[in-house]
């Protein structure tokens, strides 16, 4: 078969899903009709190409097919997603929804680059994008993360229907926790005073000072408000990511504060 034309070249116009199979493979005979039916139902979104590994050994070797069935999604000439085994229809649908290229997601990525770069009006543009695409969970979550410390109620509302167990569930839970923290009432206990400092620093965008204050609160009273300082610190580090300078500078200090 002309793999370059049917798959690599075609994938620049429309995603191509390749089903690597063989006639002797029992699971392939289970998967085949299901994925063929889905390809017909969603022919406006992607195309299916079936590759018999017995007849196309060079192609199977090139793409390191060690077990079948093996399904790979090609976009712009590259493999962007894959799975092995005879997945049920629902699982394949989820795989397609998660991995098929989406022009909206490409637009979102550009918006997020502008937000991260601090471009004027970028957050307002993101809010407008979310209004136009309320079903795009990634967009709502990204906007919520931008609003946690300035407008916690709006941030919470944006992630209200994203639950633990969902793909973005853990991140949404962090948004809810941090939004609740921003409304936590002040008190004069040592831990409470430090958390008030952290709230004020977060409102100003001073992440390093906020994390430092949360660590001080953890040191002062680990059990304060159902371990709120510990939970806030973990949520902040997760939101920043392991490579952020604040995480690198303060994560070890937080770990020491716990023990």
Pairing between β-strand 47-52 and β-strand 78-84 as defined by DSSP bridges: unpaired
Three-state DSSP class for residue 82: strand
Distance between CA atoms of residues 172 and 91, nearest Å: 23
Distance between CA atoms of residues 24 and 234, nearest Å: 51
Please report which helix (H) or strand (E) contains residue 60, including its range.
helix 57-62
Among left, alpha and beta (phi > 0; psi -120 to 50; other), residue 205 is left
Q: Which of 174, 147, 193 is nearest to 231 (CA)?
A: 174
Q: Which of 7, 16, 18, 28 is catalytic?
A: 28
Q: Which of 25, 51, 213, 217 is catalytic?
A: 25
Catalytic site residue 159?
A: no
Among left, alpha and beta (phi > 0; psi -120 to 50; other), residue 226 is left
Q: In what order do the strands lie in the sheet with 70-75?
A: 47-52, 16-21, 70-75, 78-84
Place of tokens 């949360």: 214
User: CA end-to-end span of the chain, whole Å?
Assistant: 63
Is cis: bond before 69, omega within 30 of 0?
Answer: yes
Catalytic site residue 28?
A: yes
CB 199 within 8 A of CB 164: no
Any idea which residues carry the catalytic annotation?
A: 25, 28
């Amino acid at each position: 078969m002309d793999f370059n034309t049917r798959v690599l070249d075609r994938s620049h116009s429309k995603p191509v899903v390749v089903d690597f199979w063989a006639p002797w493979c029992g699971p392939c005979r289970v998967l085949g009709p299901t994925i063929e039916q889905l390809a017909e139902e969603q022919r406006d979104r992607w195309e299916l190409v079936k590759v018999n590994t017995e007849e196309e050994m060079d192609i199977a070797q090139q793409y390191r097919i060690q077990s079948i069935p093996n399904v790979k999604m090609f976009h712009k000439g590259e493999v962007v997603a894959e799975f092995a085994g005879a997945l049920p229809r629902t699982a394949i649908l989820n795989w397609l929804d998660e991995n098929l290229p989406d022009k909206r997601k490409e637009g979102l990525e550009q918006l997020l680059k502008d937000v991260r770069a601090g471009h004027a009006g970028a957050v307002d543009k993101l809010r407008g994008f979310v209004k136009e695409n309320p079903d795009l969970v990634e967009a709502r979550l990204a906007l919520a993360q931008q609003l946690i410390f300035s407008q916690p109620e709006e941030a919470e509302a944006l992630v209200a229907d994203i639950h633990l167990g969902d793909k973005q569930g853990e991140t949404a839970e962090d948004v809810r926790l941090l939004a609740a923290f921003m409304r936590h009432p002040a008190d004069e206990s040592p831990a409470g005073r430090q958390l008030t400092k952290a709230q004020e620093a977060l409102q100003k965008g001073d992440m390093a000072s906020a994390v430092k204050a949360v660590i001080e609160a953890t040191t002062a009273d680990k059990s304060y408000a159902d371990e709120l300082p510990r939970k806030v610190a973990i949520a902040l580090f997760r939101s920043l990511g392991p490579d952020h300078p604040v995480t690198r500078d303060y994560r070890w200090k937080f770990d020491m504060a716990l023990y």
